[in-house]
Amino acid sequence: MGFSRRQFLSNAAVTTASLAIGGDAIAQSQNGNQTPGQASQARELPKPKQPVIITKVTGKQSIDQGWQMLKDGQDTLDAALHICKAQEDDPNDQTVGLGGLPNEEGVVELDSCCMHGPTRKAGSVGGVRNIKNVCLVARDVMRHTGHVMLCGEGAERFAVAMGHPRENLLTEPSRKMWLLWKETNSTQDWWGAGPDDTRWKTPEAPQITLERKRKKLIELAADFGIEPELRERAAEYILFPPTGTIHVSLVNEKGEMSGATTTSGLAWKLPGRLGDSPVVGAGCYCDQDVGSAGATGSGEENIKIAGAHTIVENMRRGMSPREAGMEALQRIVRNYNHDMNRLRYVEMVYYILRRDGQYAGVSLWSNNPSGKPLRFAVHDGSSRLEQTVALLQGNSISWPAEPKPVEEKR
């Protein structure tokens, strides 16, 4: 009996897919243990005994509530967005939502994406102005449209249609810090080639030391009317423009997972710049058969290695969360041909959670640009901060704001 054309085409598609997915999967298919549709799935991971949440340090303030939501059986994405929203609502977090540091024109533009494990759906918005809770707008895109991603003006109009209020996101402290940046450092901007480009040269050491520059900025901050308790932070943001962001990955006792990321992105960025946070597969990726991961740090570098997706796929192939994250970081190092002078200008932290509750926080450098060890927040029944496992020891340096600083001799 001959094959029909339809049977032939369907068998041809299966063969092509089997060849593309690698030796192990093919062997399993041939043994008849898995259908081709299951071939990319690793062994089934057990469910955790308790809910587990991993997030950025700033998420510590609402992680207990998020964990209780999971304990009470609420939806995993609702719990993740509860933590993201708390940072978006907090004007003191100047890297997310209300009070986020603006772009080079003084306009706050927000990015966010989310993935809901149980329904395997995703939503994202990028470059949104005037709307504070973009993490909820990303969920609205997921729930109420046939799209995954909306950006710019269209995303803003969609948000308003969904009932999100338009509001001014530029708080007075952020506006004054932007003015301070304009007056003192805006020639060190994001125009021109970046450190991943061969034309880019490591900047010459500045004539004045970092400490003197910091002191001068703190004095000037007073002239701009920046409150005394915010002056050191203003100097820091001008010397080392933050990429900020918060990511949340979590799992409940049923093994259901979700992930979400939200940010105001790189401070003083070019208008319209999108980082990794709205990019599903870079800033956030979740497949509850395996795990969930997300990133904070240099969005451009993370996009190039599709970081969150890469990590989840590494875990699918059997790596531990820590190994999966380290392998992703190695890809960034490879993209820079192991050039440590350039890699100094990359900051990257991954938050990684496997379905069975195993987790890792990994970072490219051990310390942030101010020299503080990088940490992350976790809750698995008790809430705590842990230090990241770093691929490289030392500080990263934000680019391109400041040439490699001359440290004050003590």
Contact between 297 and ligand GLY by CB under 6 A: the answer reads: yes
Place of tokens 């003590």: 410
Judged on CB neighbours under 10 Å (0-12, 13-18, 19+), 409 is exposed
Taking the least distance from each CB to ligand GLY, the nearer of 25 and 279 is 279
Helices (H), 31-151: 60-71, 76-89, 134-144
Tally of residues, the chain: 410
Which of 249, 296, 310, 368 touches ligand GLY by CB under 6 A?
Answer: 296
| Cβ neighbours, 10 Å, residue 249 | 32
- The CB-of-397 to ligand GLY minimum distance in angstroms stands at 15
Judged on CB neighbours under 10 Å (0-12, 13-18, 19+), 337 is exposed
Contact between 245 and ligand GLY by CB under 6 A: the answer reads: yes
Taking the least distance from each CB to ligand GLY, the nearer of 242 and 357 is 242
- Which residues 121-140 are close enough to bind ligand GLY by CB under 6 A? none
Residue 119 among the catalytic residues: no
Contact between 242 and ligand GLY by CB under 6 A: the answer reads: no
Judged by CB under 6 A, the number of residues near ligand GLY is 11
Contact between 243 and ligand GLY by CB under 6 A: the answer reads: yes
Residue type, 25: A
Taking the least distance from each CB to ligand GLY, the nearer of 188 and 277 is 277
Q: What share of the chain is helix, strand, coil (3-state, %, to 5)?
A: 35, 20, 45
Taking the least distance from each CB to ligand GLY, the nearer of 103 and 366 is 103
- The CB-of-13 to ligand GLY minimum distance in angstroms stands at 37
Backbone angles phi, psi at 140, to 5 degrees: -65, -40
Q: Which of 58, 95, 245, 263 is catalytic?
A: 245
Residue type, 233: R
Q: Please give the helix or strand (H or E) that residue 110 lies within, else none.
A: strand 110-116
Taking the least distance from each CB to ligand GLY, the nearer of 54 and 69 is 54
| Cβ neighbours, 10 Å, residue 186 | 15
From residue 70 to residue 89, what is the string marking binding to ligand GLY with x (rule CB under 6 A)? --------------------
- Comparing CA positions, the residue from 206, 159, 169 lying closest to residue 184 is 206
- The CB-of-133 to ligand GLY minimum distance in angstroms stands at 18
- The CB-of-191 to ligand GLY minimum distance in angstroms stands at 17
Taking the least distance from each CB to ligand GLY, the nearer of 98 and 319 is 98
* Pairwise CA distance, residues 40 & 315, whole Å: 12
- The CB-of-299 to ligand GLY minimum distance in angstroms stands at 2
| Cβ neighbours, 10 Å, residue 179 | 16
Contact between 103 and ligand GLY by CB under 6 A: the answer reads: no
* Pairwise CA distance, residues 106 & 88, whole Å: 18
- Which residues 299-338 are close enough to bind ligand GLY by CB under 6 A? 299
- Which residues 254-293 are close enough to bind ligand GLY by CB under 6 A? 263, 265-266, 275-277
What does the binding site for ligand GLY look like in residue numbers (CB under 6 A)?
243, 245, 263, 265-266, 275-277, 296-297, 299
Where in the sequence numbering do the catalytic residues fall? 245
